[in-house]
Amino acid sequence: MQFSSEVENLFTQEEIEEILEDEQQFYIEHAEKNWLERYFKIKAMANETQVPSIVSSISDMPHESSDFKKSKTEMYALKAIQVSEWLKKLDSAIQSLSPIEQELIELKYLRKRNDGSRYSDEVIYPQLYIGRKKYYKMKKEALDILGRKLYGVFSERGHS
């Protein structure tokens, strides 16, 4: 307990709030830029039905060799698995939100209007039967949660 009171004396309440706000903003931006803004592109890749050429190459190089080239079929299969994993991770993170937060994220980021644009906030909050102020607070909290859950998910393998 003594340590925490000493730390509290190092920072003013305003400084602590600013640090926490900066941290929250980092996770919000991570959720939006690295996940939600990529959703439609990744989804399109998952729905791609193009089948690669099924011509195999024969090589006398050992499989572990750095010069060994993977077949087009193998590369396509790996990409399809990565895309599927990405969508599952995003879906799992969204499912951890409350039902109204899930609906907010769905309406704001995972659906598009007929003209291809996203729905504006002014269209969404009345659909959720909440006021403007509550909507923006809820949106911020939901994005923060998503950003924290999704941060570093694929970084250990080098693809995100």
User: Which pLDDT value is given to residue 88?
Assistant: 95
- Measured distance CA(28)–CA(89) in Å, rounded: 17
User: Which pLDDT value is given to residue 20?
Assistant: 79
For residue 24, what are the contacts with CB-CB under 8 A and spacing of at least 6?
A: 140, 144
Is 0.85 topped by the overall pTM?
no
User: Which pLDDT value is given to residue 140?
Assistant: 97
DSSP character string of 14-35: HHHHHHHHHHHHHHHHHHHHHT
From the number of C-beta atoms within 10 Å of its C-beta (0-12, 13-18, 19+), residue 143 rates as: buried
**Structural domain of residue 129, as residue ranges?**
72-160
Residue 96 inside a domain? The answer is yes
The residue among 71, 80, 91, 89 whose CA lies nearest residue 45 is 80
Residue 22 inside a domain? The answer is no
Residue 41 inside a domain? The answer is no
Q: What is the mean pLDDT of each run of 10 residues along the chain (160 residues)?
A: 64 82 92 94 79 54 55 77 92 97 97 93 96 97 96 61
In single-letter form, the type of residue at position 30 comes to: H
Residue 4 inside a domain? The answer is no
In single-letter form, the type of residue at position 28 comes to: I
User: Which pLDDT value is given to residue 51?
Assistant: 54
The tally of domains found in the chain comes to: 1
